[in-house]
Amino acid sequence: MMHHDVAVVGGGCVGLSVAKHLRERTDLDVAVLEKEHHLAAHQSGRNSGVLHPGFNYPPESRKAEFATEGTRRMKAYCAEHGVPCDELGVLVVAKTDAEEARLDALAAQAEANGVEYELLDSQPAIREHEPHAVGQAALYAPEAASVDAQQYVYALAREIQAAGAELYTGHAVEAIHRTGSGYRIETDKGPLEATYLVNAAGLHADELAHQLGVGEGYQIVPFRGEYYELRPGRRHLCRTMIYPTPNPDLPFLGVHYTRRTDGKVIIGPNAVLAFGREAYENTQFDLSDLFDTLTYGGFRKLLASRMMLSVALEELSKSYRKGKFTEASQRLVPDVRQEDLKRSYAGIRAQVVSDDGDLVKDPLFVTTDDSIHVLNAVSPGLTSSLPFGDHIAERLEALR
Ligand SMILES: Cc1cc2nc3c(=O)[nH]c(=O)nc-3n(C[C@H](O)[C@H](O)[C@H](O)COP(=O)(O)OP(=O)(O)OC[C@H]3O[C@@H](n4cnc5c(N)ncnc54)[C@H](O)[C@@H]3O)c2cc1C
């Protein structure tokens, strides 16, 4: 039977980054097991593709550290590996006094985290950056960038293979068992053994962890994020990236505008409960996943909060009613008309909810004697993927 020192389950940006850093730091024989035949089929290829420098996160938090360092490292990585990356900067727009006060808090975080920023205090100042954006104030962060996330994942895959790691695509892990000296991993193509395990299975990470009795106080609740895109003749309405001021009580940043590296302007994502971990259309559902979510006590506690229930209903209406989505888009750019928008792709966030009903906002990973389970590679997980993978590789090295 095939044996590797380390098996990484999941070939998204996190799993591949772990493999990259393990190969750089150690002489361990590393294999990555990916269930899809093509990479970047889930979160790592279905996101906004924005590098978020750390102004959105509290100083000294892991999220702030990873995001700030990740933005810089990823720009260098993209330049070195020919991955499209446009340093456009981002405009976070405030529409009310309460939002303007929150912008000051973001500016303080930017300052503490060493992120460049500028506060714009008038509509004319906003218009100099984005002629069609409307607000009473804004924070401009020039370090934010737009990246081709799928090409980034493929660059990582090429790099780890060149460094001697095995990448098994089309290998779905069905079960994992403990053995006396590590793990026996059953895949749909046959078993293999490994001394150490890294579980970076994204939307399915909790299912694999639970098989081994790890992370049982948490469950992934899939939240779909749907995008529209501007018709080609209307793309001038957004030059760079325009975000609303985030609500600090929610882990999602709100419907925003992103100019992608291919020139398209996407608007979204909303955040609706997905009726399946891979239910990318709002007409799709997976009965077993849906049952798991609806019977999960943590999810029921989450929905018991009046604020969460009203957010959930509002987001649901944006999914089924284009007019509602258009209204959310017009809040930042009033010149956008319903006919300017056409449906684009969707992504699904692997959002971890605790048994207490909390949406876990920080990265969460659980280390055992010989394994690491990445349970919440929460946004900005793409931005943070290089330092995050480095950190996990360092932890695994310490287990030897
Ligand atoms: C809508 C949306 C917008 C986002 N926008 C941004 C953004 O602008 N900037 C940012 O920094 N972050 C963003 N994020 C977050 C970011 O995309 C994720 O944090 C990151 O991609 C997580 O990577 P991952 O490798 O953990 O997960 P994934 O990319 O989901 O990778 C997990 C992999 O594991 C594989 N897998 C699962 N189960 C098995 C199994 N049993 N056997 C084998 N393989 C398995 C899957 O096929 C998948 O390829 C966004 C996310 C979403 C959903």
208 touches 75 (CB < 8 A): no
Distance, CA of 123 to CA of 115 (rounded, Å): 23
Which residue of 32, 47, 203 sits with most ligand 1 atoms within 8 Å of its CB, as the best mutation to test the pocket? 47
Residue 65 has pLDDT above 80, yes or no: yes
Distance, CA of 245 to CA of 99 (rounded, Å): 6
Helix (DSSP H) and strand (DSSP E) numbers for the chain: 11, 20
Q: Give strand ranges (E) for 62-149.
A: 85-86, 90-94, 118-120, 137-141, 145-147
pLDDT digits (tens, 9 = 90+) for 78-111: 999 999 999 999 999 999 999 999 999 999 999 9
Return the C-alpha torsion angle 134, 118, 108, 53, nearest 10: 90
Ligand 1 atom closest to 41 (CA): 49
Q: Is the CB of 272 under 6 A from ligand 1?
A: no
* Mean of pLDDT over the chain: 95
Q: Which amino acid is at 380?
A: P
- What HEC string does 278-346 produce? CCCCCCCCCHHHHHHHHCCHHHHHHHHCHHHHHHHHHHHHHHHCHHHHHHHHHHHCCCCCHHHEEEEEE
Distance, CA of 300 to CA of 181 (rounded, Å): 40
Q: Which residues of 148-167 are buried (b: 16+ CB within 10 A; e: fewer)?
A: bbbbbbbbbbebbeeeebbb
What is the 43 CA–ligand 1 centroid distance (Å)?
A: 3
Give residue 234's pLDDT. Answer: 98
Give residue 29's pLDDT. Answer: 98
**1-49+148-217+360-400 topology per CATH:** FAD/NAD(P)-binding domain (3.50.50)
Residue 252 has pLDDT above 90, yes or no: no
**Domain ranges within the chain, ordered by starting residue:** 1-49+148-217+360-400, 221-233+266-354
Q: Is the CB of 225 under 6 A from ligand 1?
A: yes
Which residue of 382, 383, 391, 392 sits with most ligand 1 atoms within 8 Å of its CB, as the best mutation to test the pocket? 382
Residue 170 DSSP symbol: T
Give residue 245's pLDDT. Answer: 96
Q: State the distance between the two ends of the chain, measured CA to CA, in whole angstroms.
A: 23
pLDDT digits (tens, 9 = 90+) for 274-321: 999 999 998 999 999 999 999 999 999 998 888 888 888 888 888 889
Residue 250 has pLDDT above 80, yes or no: no
11 in helix, strand or coil? coil
pLDDT digits (tens, 9 = 90+) for 124-181: 999 999 999 999 999 999 999 999 999 999 999 999 999 999 999 999 999 999 999 9
Which residue of 204, 379, 384 sits with most ligand 1 atoms within 8 Å of its CB, as the best mutation to test the pocket? 379
343 touches 230 (CB < 8 A): no
Ligand 1 atom closest to 225 (CA): 1
